[in-house]
Structure 1
């Protein structure tokens, strides 16, 4: 063998040794890795006591049969039973006859129980009862996970807490969070007698609160509640609504609340409602973007877009702030306040800084609307304004105070105090009276600037026909200034020939279109007729004449226009 061959053999030997060493190093590292990745062994269930221990290879897979005061321990949990089998290879304890599991601050009893040390899940069968400091749960079957502390009860589940008793077919109890979860139908009875029925609820025994995920029906001694989504708190008594909900008084179902966003305190009867919720009371409807209502005191307060609808009176009050008093049967609105009284063929519109609606429960249950400061009203045949007005809806009488003024067509009526009367059949203003400083002005010709029929006196009665002023009766110190027309027989055209001024104790006049024709001038009558060409300019306007047609309300929306 040559020297070169010897060298090759030596090198191959060295390489083989290096390979063997590398292999064992890798094997050692891999074994260490596997050892590091190996999960720690599970704790095992241990037998602590049994009065009798027997073993039959043909029974219980050859495991020991334990009887008499059996005690098995697993990581601090204790299982008690009259009889049990401990499957050592499965780390499983099966106990029956007065089986009981004691784990920290809770106890589970059942007719039969299985405790799996591998999964840390206890299964309890028949007459199952879980008891902890905050609740007691009974069911036909229960699984309890020691690691997660979650109990699942199935079949005739009955949960008792300090404030609730819950019935369901299936329930999940998360002890760490305190949540009792029911994903199917349930029924609860509160300590105050409140009954709740529905589906999908989470009840927290720590916070004593409930979250309802779908339709729920609640009944207590004062109210019934229906909601599609809400939460309740037994400590505060507050229910929060997040979908369509209805709260109804049990002693009077006509009084209820509709909301999809609000809070209700069943203890105090108070409700804080949002998003145009509605309160129904005494056949009225109160709504607002933000609404407070106390069902026990009957007081309600609304902010923004406040609406008080009274269907029986066919009347609506609106404003940006309002208050209602159920037991006083009154309400007021302010801030852009206005009222609408609906008639069969027409409506009356009233606005003011503040509107007050009151129903006096006297013989005829008189319904009254009062408008204070900058009052304005509009009806198809008459409109006007004053500092304040009172509308007796029952009697159909409107009273106007402080600087009242009315218009009907091109006729203007002013005085110190006015009353307008609505005909019950026609539902139109058919007459009015003016007291002290009555003054009627009517434009003679729209093409002539300075010609006006004028009638003054202390008292004035106005009669309407076909929505227009038809007849005037003026009493005490009556004065009439009227333009006289004649009709040309050939051309049939009217020609103005003079102006008549009459001074009478009583003046009666017919009004046809723009024409005012004196019918009677009685009691100390006096006067003079002037040819048009000789009519003195200084007599053209009676004392206190003021034509204010620019302030007239031409549509109902003009009730919102400030006085000029």
Structure 2
């Protein structure tokens, strides 16, 4: 029992010894003096021609021209070219300095310069807690390291992890990048910036906006995940999280990504995107769709994957896999599409048929694979569909369906009756973004249900062939039909025709695929 008590007493004694405050030592001075009347309790230390005042406390050396040393309080006040050195990495210069040896806290004033490794801080007043290993300034400071300059109203430096913390306006800049923020941390050893408030990063050809993320000023890349936006090569990219790499000329985004092309009035959205500046291209996927802003309207285009390729004045947008589009009173589908921003051409294309598919598929089965558009109550299909936009007025100008053009319109009165027209090619014209006229050319055929205008009773079914058919559209319905060049036709009573005689070869009514509105397109 006595042995255990002795061990405890020894341990307590050692703890007390370790907690004993170290006394400030006077190493040398040019002169020593006292003035109890004006400076009670102070040792007045001054330099002379040969010696400066030199004090030491717990591994920290202090030199000055003049010092008041208070032995009882274990503190001093120094002034005149004050120099502080601690180890090989910390140096402090100022005109005035106050130090409390018990609390181990420093207050340096007037033309303060603090150096640690490769970092230099300049300010007018600086606080240093040696126990916490923290430095703090509150009346403006400038920090410089090997690459960056930092200006801020106030800041704190943590020596152990080389971190500067700024909670007010701060500016980090170098020859290539300028960062302005309200709250950020800067690590001087890695030159990385972590920010936690509204921040703008400006490079030579980009600007980044975010409220949370990090940026490496050395490798010029970063990650941004709160209100993130990148202005890059005449594109604006937003998303829940963005990645940016200036050296690789690359950016990407995840979740709720939007790419805005202000020059071409195009918006592309999706849940994952990549932008390659060197290739002048962008790819976006996962519920991706594009919005082409038209005069008084917008064209929505959705695809499994969208690409924007080329410089802004000659940019091409491509979509592949399950392409759909919608605008007011018009929608469509295809395997892929190409939109040329320079000439205003939009192509709706099907995937190329294999040799076997060409041999075994019927006209109806091929029609099922063909691009399709719905204009009001009319359905139009063909091997390839072109929609042309007037680049001067930014309105839809014309429509082309190349090869196997087929037009179907549900009869307004009959339950399973369909007006049908087909030919090799189709050409149409828009007025105020609405289809006004369409013309079928070469080997045209027609089946059309005729009704008495007053009684609305069925007169018969008009079956005709000719070289060309012109149709006028009114209120998104076929209003008038004109036949050109040797038309041949006959009106049959409905009962005289078998079911298969009431449809043209290749007929395929695809109304179940029709896109009814933009919400149906986006959320499908």
TM over 0.5: yes
User: What SS does structure 2 have at the residue aligned with 1:539?
Assistant: helix
**Which residue does the alignment assign to 1:328?**
279
Separation in 1, partners of 2:456, 2:257:
54
Separation in 2, partners of 1:464, 1:309:
27
User: What SS does structure 2 have at the residue aligned with 1:141?
Assistant: strand
**Which residue does the alignment assign to 1:453?**
419
Separation in 1, partners of 2:321, 2:506:
24
**Which residue does the alignment assign to 2:483?**
520
Does residue 177 (structure 1) correspond to residue 132 (structure 2)? The answer is: yes
User: Structure 1 residues 504-513 or 543-552, which shifts more?
Assistant: 504-513
**Which residue does the alignment assign to 1:482?**
448
Deviations 1:375-402 (A, max 9, x none): 1111114211111111112222111112
Select 2:340's aligned residue among 379, 382, 392. Answer: 392
**Which residue does the alignment assign to 2:399?**
432
Distance 1:428 1:76, change over 3 A: closer
Separation in 2, partners of 1:425, 1:360:
19
Which aligned pairs between 1:307-326 and structure 2 lie closer than 5 A? 307-326=258-277
- On the 8 A contact 1:383/1:552 being kept in 2, the answer is yes
Distance 1:99 1:510, change over 3 A: closer
Does residue 291 (structure 1) correspond to residue 245 (structure 2)? The answer is: no
Select 1:107's aligned residue among 61, 73, 94. Answer: 61
Separation in 2, partners of 1:517, 1:127:
99
| 1:174 CA displacement | 2.1
**Which residue does the alignment assign to 2:460?**
498
**Which residue does the alignment assign to 2:150?**
196
Deviations 1:345-381 (A, max 9, x none): 11111111111112347xxx31221111111111114
- On the 8 A contact 2:253/2:274 being kept in 1, the answer is yes
Does residue 239 (structure 1) correspond to residue 193 (structure 2)? The answer is: yes
**Which residue does the alignment assign to 2:44?**
94
Q: Which runs of 5+ in 2 are unaligned?
A: 1-15, 351-369
User: What SS does structure 1 have at the residue aligned with 2:500?
Assistant: helix
Separation in 2, partners of 1:478, 1:369:
34
Larger Rg belongs to: 1
| 1:505 CA displacement | 3.5
Does residue 122 (structure 1) correspond to residue 92 (structure 2)? The answer is: no
User: What SS does structure 2 have at the residue aligned with 1:312?
Assistant: coil
User: What SS does structure 1 have at the residue aligned with 2:29?
Assistant: strand
Does residue 404 (structure 1) correspond to residue 371 (structure 2)? The answer is: yes
Distance 1:112 1:468, change over 3 A: closer
Separation in 2, partners of 1:468, 1:534:
38
Select 1:382's aligned residue among 330, 343, 358. Answer: 330
Which aligned pairs between 1:342-361 and structure 2 lie closer than 5 A? 342-360=293-311
Deviations 1:427-462 (A, max 9, x none): 4434211122211001221x3212221111222223
Separation in 2, partners of 1:92, 1:129:
21
User: What SS does structure 1 have at the residue aligned with 2:415?
Assistant: coil
| 1:261 CA displacement | 0.2
Separation in 1, partners of 2:221, 2:34:
60
User: Structure 1 residues 506-515 or 260-269, which shifts more?
Assistant: 506-515
Distance 1:124 1:349, change over 3 A: same
- On the 8 A contact 1:482/1:516 being kept in 2, the answer is no
Separation in 2, partners of 1:384, 1:427:
20
| 1:264 CA displacement | 0.2
Does residue 539 (structure 1) correspond to residue 501 (structure 2)? The answer is: yes
| 1:493 CA displacement | 4.8
User: What SS does structure 2 have at the residue aligned with 1:557?
Assistant: helix
Deviations 1:497-531 (A, max 9, x none): 222212233333444564564422426x5433223
- On the 8 A contact 1:77/1:104 being kept in 2, the answer is no
User: Structure 1 residues 423-432 or 116-125, which shifts more?
Assistant: 423-432
TM-score (norm 1): 0.79
User: What SS does structure 2 have at the residue aligned with 1:184?
Assistant: coil
- On the 8 A contact 1:162/1:191 being kept in 2, the answer is no
Distance 1:423 1:125, change over 3 A: closer
TM-score (norm 2): 0.85
Select 1:84's aligned residue among 32, 43, 51. Answer: 32
Separation in 1, partners of 2:188, 2:227:
27
- On the 8 A contact 1:440/1:456 being kept in 2, the answer is yes
Distance 1:168 1:360, change over 3 A: closer
Does residue 471 (structure 1) correspond to residue 419 (structure 2)? The answer is: no
For the aligned residues, what is the CA RMSD? 2.6
- On the 8 A contact 2:447/2:461 being kept in 1, the answer is yes
Does residue 415 (structure 1) correspond to residue 382 (structure 2)? The answer is: yes
- On the 8 A contact 1:135/1:205 being kept in 2, the answer is no
Which aligned pairs between 1:242-321 and structure 2 lie closer than 5 A? 242-249=196-203, 251-252=204-205, 255-321=206-272
- On the 8 A contact 2:24/2:101 being kept in 1, the answer is no
Separation in 2, partners of 1:396, 1:100:
81
- On the 8 A contact 1:96/1:112 being kept in 2, the answer is yes
Distance 1:461 1:76, change over 3 A: closer
| 1:422 CA displacement | 2.1
